[in-house]
Chains A and B, each alone.
Chain A
């Protein structure tokens, strides 16, 4: 609301400033020509003060408009970001939209940013219409014919701008989007074949192909640029036309004619703001639609979390009581990771798996998560500090608990040596840690979750044998103390020795149906 008022005041301020100046100048010329009497009778103080006052009002209003509209937009968008994130986070993991690729999530961010621009412009539109109407009122001072002609010019302009650019730009816009998508796919495909491109010296040939595709993209965008340029040119021509018709059709005195003529140009300028906003709206329509789909996800329902009783774990026909320690064996690529990720609720199960006697596929994600804690093959660390990653496991973890878990994972000394300790920033995907260290941090996180079952996928991959032995011993002590169950997949004999039972993954039958 404040944004609208300020935008309106700024628009009208600008219009009145120019129109009043025109009137003042013309009236002054008339008075000046009519001799000393007329000059003495001419009240020049009020208009000249008003002109200077308007300069200040217009500046202040424009400043307020900018600030208030951005403030409203930023808060609205921050709210939208939170809502979207909460919706996404609470969606059922196995059926939620797949945004794991950097590309998809970056596009989401881009969509929100584009929307932000739109929200900022929003209060400007009714204000521009308001300014346009005030301008029309000022032109009416020059007579009904002048006003009618301005209405005609405005109507023509608004219809032309609303109808022509969208129709003309539809084909090149689609062409540009297609060419961009093609170029993106080509770049990704060719980048995947870099080794061969270098080996056979094909960089120039591949570049020529890419440049040719980019040229097609530029061709389409040049058409779009020409349409945009023509639209802005049309506005400036309409402004001259409106001024000329007002002048020719004016039935009023010269000062009022001057006022009306300048008001007519200012009301066309207001149309320019409307045209820019609607062009923007069309440009981001696709992104807005993508966001709408995500916002249509069901709102999160907070369910009370009750600590669940430990459940039995079923791998096909074999059932394991809580506290069992099981090794999943099999050659690489045989599906061990698939079984573990399905049990953790990360993917739809391809095998026959049960928890507490119910098929994992039929259990809600939340019920699965209460039973298992996963240290995945890819450590899946979030950008943030060491402590941020550990706190992910459950609410209310203190420093002592973190230290204990890191000691078990044989990572405490390394973290302690870091200048900021637990508050060290890791960067994206564990950034500054080595591959083995990331895995152990991920293991410490799973330990902190304190769930009935611990799922470990290749926990000691990339460790030297001394560290591996120490880690396995500490893990054994931890399992003994907590009485937690373990399902481990590994190629290596030392961690496999933790298990009491071995299940070859080939023995776990595929899920029925």
Chain B
């Protein structure tokens, strides 16, 4: 990606401003030392250097943000459809969906914005510093370069251990957090058994334990930053001592160059810049860790299941839908072009998952399942989808070209006509994704009306009578019975009146 490279170059260009500043400072001090004019010119160069560094650092951070944003946009574009296209028990839960789609993408974004550009400049910028320094003093450049060798060895020795230690620390803290989340979620049952003190002691012990272990781990982790600090300080000290002795003419060897004061001071001010990019890299390491963990979590989002081969009718033979800890079935039934099938069972028994399997959205783990092609299925959900557009558009999601008379007819059939009459704009009334002014029952009716307007051969309805008063529920039951004369209808419900009206009842 070009923009990611640009951010790396922007960080590297910081060296230009640093060089201008160092040259200005060296010139001004030399002028003062020799009592010549040029102090003001040097000071002006210093300020120019400061301005250039401001521009580089500002630019690098803003371009870095844009690089992160470009990556996040790419991720969202492929992640969101995937998160929405997996149904049933293997799909991430609602809260987890939000965590994946927001927090994990943000962690990857932060890594691309802060860590990746700095990493690029950590290889380029030190080379540039050595080159700039070499223009004034080849020996000082050699000194900087030579400190790099023990530094690299030190980093290989301490850095590998530190990286492992940092990763282990993060794993330990993640585990501790998971323990706390679990215990806090289960506080009601902990209080019920009067186990507050015992669990609090256990949780507190775990926290202290992790703190102790983390400190042990940090000793190793900080060793690598100590190596970095040491060579950063050592390179400054060695350059200072070399330049000082060179100016005094006291070097124990004959230098290959004649160093003047300006060159010496320039080299001294540039020396800390040599290790600065690597220090920036170390500071952004946490972003790298979080970004990698997030990337892994995003890779684990399951792929949507392939659709079963299309058939002309619904037929299940010994179908089992299973996921860790749960198992529905075996279930067998057939439904022709017409008829009403009710799937019943208590909450959490897997009615919606079975419906999703019949819709071809969840793969059964055992048995044979035949169903209609996707275009022949309509679904009226428990919490129907609402897009932030008009009521009319929402009703037309299943068949955008439906006739206005069909829409009005369906709205009347599900009992939305009273609601429409109350609204000045009728079908043109705007709604938001949350359905702010719709009750749960009204949302459900809207979902059912949409499924009717879609006019498909198979109608699946999930708890169509929940949240409705007796009269409304009976109206919906009558409607479903009438629809079952025209098409195949499968309903998940725990409403006994609805089950009583069915041609077949599948109890889970």
Collect the chain B residues with CB atoms within 8 Å of residue A96's CB: 187
B195 CB to nearest A CB, Å = 5
Q: Does A386 contact B (CB under 8 A)?
A: no
Collect the chain A residues with CB atoms within 8 Å of residue B387's CB: 202, 205-206, 209
* A199-B378 in contact (CB<8A): yes
* B237-A55 in contact (CB<8A): yes
B11 CB to nearest A CB, Å = 12
Q: A70-B218, A195-B359 are in contact. Are A190 and B182 (CB under 8 A)?
A: no
B143 CB to nearest A CB, Å = 13
* B190-A55 in contact (CB<8A): no
B153 CB to nearest A CB, Å = 16
A34 CB to nearest B CB, Å = 11
A41 CB to nearest B CB, Å = 11
Q: Name, among B200, B352, B386, the residue most crowded by chain A CB atoms within 10 Å (CB to CB).
A: B200
Q: Does B419 contact A (CB under 8 A)?
A: no
Collect the chain A residues with CB atoms within 8 Å of residue B39's CB: 247-248
* A109-B180 in contact (CB<8A): yes
The closest CB in chain B to the CB of A48 belongs to: B241
Q: Does B302 contact A (CB under 8 A)?
A: no
* A59-B233 in contact (CB<8A): yes
* A211-B46 in contact (CB<8A): no
Collect the chain A residues with CB atoms within 8 Å of residue B127's CB: none
Q: Does A241 contact B (CB under 8 A)?
A: yes
Q: Does B384 contact A (CB under 8 A)?
A: yes
Complex CA–CA separation, A93 to B387 (angstroms):
38
> Scoring A residues 353 to 382 as 1 if CB is less than 8 Å from chain B, else 0, what string do you get?
000000000000110011001101000111
Q: Does A480 contact B (CB under 8 A)?
A: no
* A85-B374 in contact (CB<8A): no
* B265-A258 in contact (CB<8A): yes
- Which of A202, A215, A232, A247 sits near B42, CB closer than 8 Å? A247
B 187-208 contacts with A by CB, 8 A: 187-200, 203-204, 207-208
Interface-lining segment among B51-59, B128-136, B308-316, B481-489 = B51-59
B181 CB to nearest A CB, Å = 4
Q: Does A440 contact B (CB under 8 A)?
A: no
* A236-B180 in contact (CB<8A): no
Complex CA–CA separation, A201 to B200 (angstroms):
49
Pull 29 A–B residue pairs with CB atoms less than 8 Å apart, ordered by A: A21-B237, A26-B29, A59-B226, A62-B226, A67-B219, A67-B222, A70-B215, A74-B214, A78-B208, A82-B203, A85-B184, A85-B203, A100-B187, A101-B95, A102-B181, A183-B101, A195-B361, A195-B381, A196-B380, A198-B361, A215-B73, A233-B57, A258-B29, A344-B192, A382-B190, A428-B178, A435-B325, A445-B193, A491-B346
Interface-lining segment among B116-124, B243-251, B421-429 = B243-251
Q: Does A31 contact B (CB under 8 A)?
A: yes
Q: A82-B200, A305-B194 are in contact. Are A21 and B433 (CB under 8 A)?
A: no
Complex CA–CA separation, A111 to B24 (angstroms):
47
Complex CA–CA separation, A215 to B73 (angstroms):
8
The closest CB in chain B to the CB of A190 belongs to: B84
The closest CB in chain A to the CB of B198 belongs to: A395
Q: A59-B229, A88-B187, A106-B181 are in contact. Are A197 and B222 (CB under 8 A)?
A: no
Complex CA–CA separation, A152 to B181 (angstroms):
50
Q: A70-B215, A254-B29 are in contact. Are A100 and B247 (CB under 8 A)?
A: no
Q: A188-B97, A254-B33 are in contact. Are A31 and B57 (CB under 8 A)?
A: no
Q: A99-B187, A236-B53 are in contact. List 15 more A-B contacts (CB 8 A).
A: A24-B240, A31-B248, A54-B237, A66-B225, A78-B210, A89-B187, A106-B177, A194-B361, A195-B356, A197-B84, A237-B53, A393-B193, A430-B325, A434-B325, A434-B326
> Scoring B residues 69 to 81 as 1 if CB is less than 8 Å from chain A, else 0, what string do you get?
1001100110011
Collect the chain A residues with CB atoms within 8 Å of residue B352's CB: 195
Q: Does A407 contact B (CB under 8 A)?
A: no
Q: Does A148 contact B (CB under 8 A)?
A: no
The closest CB in chain B to the CB of A80 belongs to: B207
Q: Does B159 contact A (CB under 8 A)?
A: no
Interface-lining segment among A217-225, A277-285, A412-420 = A217-225
> Scoring A residues 425 to 462 as 1 if CB is less than 8 Å from chain B, else 0, what string do you get?
00010111111001000000100010000000010011
* A103-B87 in contact (CB<8A): no
* B324-A100 in contact (CB<8A): no
Complex CA–CA separation, A200 to B460 (angstroms):
12
* A332-B494 in contact (CB<8A): yes
B174 CB to nearest A CB, Å = 10
Complex CA–CA separation, A42 to B99 (angstroms):
66
Collect the chain B residues with CB atoms within 8 Å of residue A201's CB: 374
* B454-A200 in contact (CB<8A): yes
Q: Does B2 contact A (CB under 8 A)?
A: no
Q: Does A292 contact B (CB under 8 A)?
A: no
* B32-A434 in contact (CB<8A): no
* B86-A194 in contact (CB<8A): yes
Q: A108-B184, A380-B189, A392-B189 are in contact. Are A366 and B194 (CB under 8 A)?
A: yes
* A222-B33 in contact (CB<8A): no
- The count of chain B contact residues (Cβ–Cβ below 8 Å) is 149
B449 CB to nearest A CB, Å = 13
* A196-B374 in contact (CB<8A): no
* A195-B177 in contact (CB<8A): no
Q: A90-B196, A199-B377, A369-B191 are in contact. Are A248 and B29 (CB under 8 A)?
A: no
Main SS at interface, chain B: helix
- Which of B28, B102, B191, B268 sits near A180, CB closer than 8 Å? B102
Q: A39-B248, A59-B226, A461-B346 are in contact. Are A100 and B50 (CB under 8 A)?
A: no
Q: Does B61 contact A (CB under 8 A)?
A: yes
Complex CA–CA separation, A444 to B185 (angstroms):
21
B216 CB to nearest A CB, Å = 10
Collect the chain A residues with CB atoms within 8 Å of residue B447's CB: 196
* B98-A188 in contact (CB<8A): yes
Complex CA–CA separation, A244 to B92 (angstroms):
59
Complex CA–CA separation, A201 to B375 (angstroms):
9
Q: Does B397 contact A (CB under 8 A)?
A: yes
Q: Does A328 contact B (CB under 8 A)?
A: no
Collect the chain A residues with CB atoms within 8 Å of residue B434's CB: 185, 189
Complex CA–CA separation, A374 to B194 (angstroms):
12
Q: Name, among A58, A108, A393, the residue most crowded by chain B CB atoms within 10 Å (CB to CB).
A: A58
A 55-78 contacts with B by CB, 8 A: 55-56, 58-60, 62-63, 66-67, 70-71, 74-75, 77-78
A132 CB to nearest B CB, Å = 18
* B264-A29 in contact (CB<8A): yes
Q: Does B469 contact A (CB under 8 A)?
A: no
Complex CA–CA separation, A56 to B232 (angstroms):
11
- Which of B60, B230, B494 sits near A59, CB closer than 8 Å? B230
* A184-B102 in contact (CB<8A): yes
Collect the chain B residues with CB atoms within 8 Å of residue A432's CB: 324-325
Collect the chain B residues with CB atoms within 8 Å of residue A214's CB: 72-73, 76
* A243-B381 in contact (CB<8A): no
A487 CB to nearest B CB, Å = 15
Complex CA–CA separation, A103 to B102 (angstroms):
13
Collect the chain A residues with CB atoms within 8 Å of residue B346's CB: 332, 458, 461, 491
Collect the chain B residues with CB atoms within 8 Å of residue A75's CB: 208, 211
